Amino acid sequence: MTTDKQVLVVDPAAGTLGGVMEELDELGFRVIWVPSLAAALEFLEARPNLSLIIASAAAGQMGGLDFLARVHQVAPNLRIIWGARPDDGKGPVSARAGKGLDSIIPEPFRADELRSAIAELLAEHFYPTAIADAVKAAALEVLGPIREFKVEGGAFLVANQTALSDMSAVIPFGGGVSGHLMVGMTRQHAEILYRAFLPGIRSVRIDRMEDLVGELCNQILGRINAFFAQHAVSIQHGTPIFIRAAGSTLRYPGRHPSFAVSLVEPKDQARVTLEYYLAEFDREKLQAPVASRVLPLGEIRYL
């Protein structure tokens, strides 16, 4: 994707947001620090392709509305996360942030809260809604016939989403776009799915459950790839790689956020997590006319 993965941190005291900067760096962003809102504007006017600004409350919300107005004039899609002191939260900036364009979270920033705010604000930058929807739809198309599932969440920057999985399957793909899909679940949930997939089965071996996880990964990826094929993006994928270890996750050297989705049954009897990683991808390709030569599910094409 063409997003500039740069985040501007505005904080008068360098180091106050050191933990935040480290966290962002871990997530694959290049973090630039400036001491004031004025310096931030100066930087932005020179380089308007930033992804995000994180401004500490200490940077001063005095003049915050003017700052916001100027920022959105220079870079309309740029998101801002404001830090708030405990007694903040009802000022004009908060009111502006409350409109959903930006986010305001209390300081000191907690890693999970910050990650969640970043995920919410930047998801579209990395995984356009169309792709996010395709991933969710693919998962439901494949898992739906086995059990009744619903999508829970759907955010990116969730590096350890599969932390609760005992077994995972990964399928790398390449071609018009590259990346991988990882599907994981606990052993207990894998057994529930296995018994639903093969009713009447007596004993369930771990390698057989693993095999099912791999097949589900394969089928879900196939449905996601069909979405790309509609936009004339051809993708090839291979066979699954199995990981039998709790907390498995994958990182490519380029470090780019993953799109993570959980699918749960209403009574939480089974939970499946998906981690979809897409490397650099030109989103302009999604604007290509929809091709008709993609086989829909539930149709037999006689040759």
Partner 1 sequence: MSWQILVVDDSFAVRAQLRAELEKRGARVVEAENGREGLWRARENQVDLVLVDVHMPVMDGLRMIEELRRIPEYAETPIFILTSDAAGSRVDEGKKVGANAWILKPVKADLLWKAIDKALFGRPTGPHSGEMPKADSMRTGIK
Contacts with partner 1, residue ranges (CB under 8 A): 141-142, 145, 194, 197-198, 200-201, 208, 211-212, 214-215, 218-219, 221-223, 225-226, 229, 234-235, 237-239, 291, 293-303
HSE-CB of 26 using CA atoms within 13 angstroms: 12
CA nearest 226: which of 137, 150, 143, 302?
A: 137
Residue 261: CB minimum distance to partner 1, A: 18
Dist CA 101 CA 121 (whole Å) = 8
Q: Which is nearer to partner 1, 72 or 195 (CB)?
A: 195
Relative to beta strand 52-55, strand 79-84 is parallel
Q: Which is nearer to partner 1, 69 or 295 (CB)?
A: 295
Residue 295: CB minimum distance to partner 1, A: 4
Q: Which is nearer to partner 1, 31 or 216 (CB)?
A: 216
Residue 185: CB minimum distance to partner 1, A: 14
Residue 211: CB minimum distance to partner 1, A: 5
Dist CA 129 CA 286 (whole Å) = 11
**Sequence-ordered list of residues with C-beta below 8 angstroms from that of 211, at least 6 positions apart, any chain:** none
At 134, list the tokens.
């395709």
Q: Which is nearer to partner 1, 62 or 201 (CB)?
A: 201
**Sequence-ordered list of residues with C-beta below 8 angstroms from that of 99, at least 6 positions apart, any chain:** none
Q: Which is nearer to partner 1, 14 or 297 (CB)?
A: 297
Residue 237: CB minimum distance to partner 1, A: 7
Torsion of CA 206, 210, 215, 218, to 10 degrees: 180
Q: Which is nearer to partner 1, 57 or 171 (CB)?
A: 171
Torsion of CA 248, 251, 256, 259, to 10 degrees: -20
